[in-house]
Amino acid sequence: MIVKPREPQKLALALKEKPLVLYGFGGAGVSIARWCDENQIEYIFADQNAVQKQGATQKKIVLPEMLPEKWSDANIVISSILYYDEIVEKLLRLGIDRKRILSYQMFFQERITWKDLEDAVVWGTHTGRVKDIAEWIPAGVRSVADYGEGKLNLKKYLAPATAYYPIDYIKRSQETIICDFDQDRLPDIKADVSVCTATLIFITHAPELLEHLCTHTLQTIILSYVTLDTFPNVTGRRASGYMNDFTQQELQAMLSKYGFKLEAIRPDSANKIDTQYLFCKKQ
């Protein structure tokens, strides 16, 4: 998650006026907590799985049911994007004043840049994803185009004879083909396999990129994507930097139009709401 408040000093001062509770010890909660630490803001966590998660942090984690009695004067930031609406409802049922319920949105900008994403990436968490992707690449393919190469981790899983075309918005190596998928002309490269993971969802012109993948791939397309089915909160999607909103059915329809059939689906090991898709060209 990319924590970048629009008025950081003003927000920090406001959050220091009362005790602070961050409700949700997930990805967004940890990121917001890190920002609070950097700005010397004291807080505790609330989470329905407080007992199980306490060992993961030195900060106190309490059950939500304890908030009305022991933190009656605290501001409560809902730091869970995925479960925001149901947490609001739960707090109201507990008798929490709506004025004390604050949103994660105050910590995020409306527009996320590639530089923001770059600064926020924890590259080590992507190792499992890359290995999974490599397992889907058929043996003996002559070429692989990697749209959003990251740290070139995919290359080490390919046979030496396989031509590898790493494409990214900045020069990560001598081999990198520079392309901003929203700004530049997409590279005229035809490959047996095209990989586009942790990239498509951050593109404004996603349909154009999908069309390009379909018309420039001979055999196999491997995608990862957070569908609208698994994460329907559009406001939360924008706070996460997600720039488009497809359902799984819409993804399938777009690729089917160009002759690609969905062959396999599995969870993405780097993100519990992300999904990996294997599409193969119909014979």
Residues 87 and 124 in one domain: no
Q: What is the CATH number of the domain that holds 151?
A: 3.40.50.150
**Per-residue confidence (pLDDT) for residue 126, from 0 to 100:** 58
- Which of 75, 107, 139 delimits the end of a domain? 107
CA separation for the pair 117, 170 (Å, rounded): 13
Establish how many alpha carbons lie within 13 A of residue 259's alpha carbon, considering only the half-sphere containing its beta carbon: 11
Say which residue, 95 or 127, is predicted with more confidence. Answer: 95
Contact 127, 153 (CB under 8 A): yes
CA separation for the pair 197, 130 (Å, rounded): 9
- Dig out the tokens for 155 from the structure: 């290359």
In a domain, 2, yes or no: no
Task: State the pLDDT confidence band at 92, using cuts at 50, 70 and 90.
Answer: very high
pLDDT digit string (tens) for 211-267? 999 999 999 999 999 999 999 988 888 878 889 999 999 999 999 999 999 999 999
Residues 190 and 242 in one domain: yes
CA separation for the pair 105, 88 (Å, rounded): 14
Q: What is the CATH number of the domain that holds 12?
A: 3.40.50.720
In a domain, 3, yes or no: no
- Dig out the tokens for 22 from the structure: 């961050």
**Per-residue confidence (pLDDT) for residue 123, from 0 to 100:** 45
Residues 103 and 183 in one domain: no
* CA-atom Rg of the chain in angstroms: 21
Residues 136 and 205 in one domain: yes
C-alpha closest to that of 223 among 145, 140, 143: 145
pLDDT digit string (tens) for 100-150? 999 998 887 666 665 666 655 554 445 678 889 999 999 899 999 999 987
Average pLDDT, whole number, for the chain? Answer: 90
In a domain, 192, yes or no: yes
Residues 74 and 148 in one domain: no
- Which of 71, 92, 107 delimits the end of a domain? 107
Q: Which domain holds residue 70?
A: 8-107
pLDDT mean over 47-51:
92
- Which of 67, 88, 107 delimits the end of a domain? 107
Residues 92 and 121 in one domain: no
Residues 253 and 169 in one domain: yes
pLDDT mean over 58-69:
94
In a domain, 1, yes or no: no
Residue 142, by phi and psi: left (phi above 0), alpha (psi -120 to 50) or beta?
alpha
Looking at the structure of the chain, the number of domains it has is: 2
Q: Examine the pLDDT at 153 and tell me if it is beyond 50.
A: yes
Tell me the pTM. Answer: 0.76
Residues 87 and 218 in one domain: no
Residues 59 and 125 in one domain: no
Task: State the pLDDT confidence band at 194, using cuts at 50, 70 and 90.
Answer: very high
pLDDT mean over 9-37:
93
The four Cα atoms 65, 66, 69, 72 give a dihedral, to 10 degrees, of -90
Residues 204 and 151 in one domain: yes
